[in-house]
Structure 1
Amino acid sequence: MNEIAQFEVNNLPVSYKPAEIEFKGYDDMKAQIDELTQSLKSYEATPQDLKQAKYTRAKLNAFRKAINDRKLEITRQAERPIKDFKNKVKTLTAEIDKSSTKIGDEIKVYEKKAKKERHQKNLEHIKAMCELAEVDAKQIDYDSRWDNKTFSKNAFENAVDRQIAVLVQQKETYAQNVKVVSQEAEELALPVEHWLEELKIKPLADILQAMYNYKADLNKIAKTQHETRIKEQKELVQKGDKLINPTTGEVKEKLSVIRLEVQGTRWQMEQLQSFLKDNGITYRGI
């Protein structure tokens, strides 16, 4: 590795001098072309001298091409040392790149291993802290930046603590909401399991409103069924101990007679009479 220190870019063994191109006849040629240009300013091609005009234009184009070709040739000659120098430098840098890449690949192996170890340690820390807080470690939103060696330990731990605090609060809120939903389900005489599942994905207010609406729908259905049943009972005709459809003669129900003695307050008796009447049950005093 010490050999690298011996190389100094500033002392690269290369000497150069700017390319020098001497265009000695430029002024004379410029003067001739200026004179030619001036003489052709008022020139106009006519049908009579069209052949001569084409000849003149061809000579001008040939002259221009000769100048430009000479320019390209001189430029190529002047750039040849530069091209050769670039190729040599490219050879040197390519060889250096090969060594640098090899070392870089080896560094990546160790950096990847170190990053994996940091990740594992972070997971262990998260698991331990979540166990203390009695929350699920899988609910922690892992930030990939935590695995970087530039990410400080304090910043990582603070970020985890903030997420755990949120999870603890959510857990406490959920437990309280479960209690509320369970109490409401009991009061409304509804199975609680479905509503607890809904509580996992919906706000408490929405769940309670849905429970009230569902109970109201059940009551409405029960009332409709009850009214339909009473109406059907009233349309039947009693023959002996049977209720018969007067239109079809079909026996729909068989009557039962129960003798019992009832004891209660006046209000309770009124409620009982109302119930019997509402349900189409005939009764008489004994």
Structure 2
Amino acid sequence: MLMPRRFLPSLSLLTAFDATARTGSISQAARELNLTQSAVSRQIKTLEEQLEVPLFVRERQTIRLTLAGQTYAREVREALHRLSLASLNLRANPRGGTLNLAILPTFGTRWLAPRLPRFLAAHSGITINLVTRITQFDFRLEPVDAAIHFGAPDWPGAETVLLRREFVVPACSPALAAEYRFAAPDDLRRAPLLNLTTRPDAWERWFASHGARPSPVHGMLFDHFATAAQAAMSGLGVALLPTFLVEEELKRGELVPALDLITESAERYYLAWPADRATYPPLEAFRDWLLEETAADR
């Protein structure tokens, strides 16, 4: 069904509204858009007439958004961002084939990025854009075609496929290991324990899996494995780290196992995507390649 024209304002009206809403000033919006103040004022007035809703409160020489205008401004800004991103993607790859992928930060930098040149060499017509996300999100609200996810295979409104398992090891600097001389799981409680915000119960589960006494775990919090690993290398404490993400640090001796107890995580890594993108050619190609890359780790 064709939308009434008043619900589809022109781009010039929306950009004038967005600029004024962001700057809180018609004169600043006019300078940003290289227009006259009267032109911007007319565009905003036209938009309000089309929508039949006042978007600004005008008081003497000032202007501010109404409550309805505040809500509309957020949605218009997101819509303009999506249009801009679509144009940027098309310009970067005129033949199409852009894949917008959400990645876990450390997984993306440590595991995926070094392997991506192989994929791009085999699929030269595909452009991949990467954004970081550490938790699930609504695919309907994000301009993302797929996401690499750690956890359970359930993602509302999305399909998933298993990529790989994960094994974690309690790791620290050689100096910290020499200082504490850990001999049993309970010994780790004497040292500072480094925690990840997205896995708040990881240490409790690790201790329980090794028969250690139940007790709350406290310590520094980090939002990325990379920063937790760096903190561990700096001697700030013991971090529970995925072995495949810190292979190089372990090989170089910058990190050492506090205890030689490697444990498999209950969760797994998955590729997730909205059901309506399942047959999108760049996603199909990337999914097939990713499953080949992770075949030995499943």
TM-score, length basis structure 1: 0.18
Between Structure 1 and Structure 2, the one with more strand by share is 2
Per the normalisation by structure 2, the TM-score is 0.18
Greater helix proportion: 1
Tell me which structure has the larger Cα radius of gyration.
1
Which structure has more relative contact order (CA 8 Å, sep 6+)? It is 2
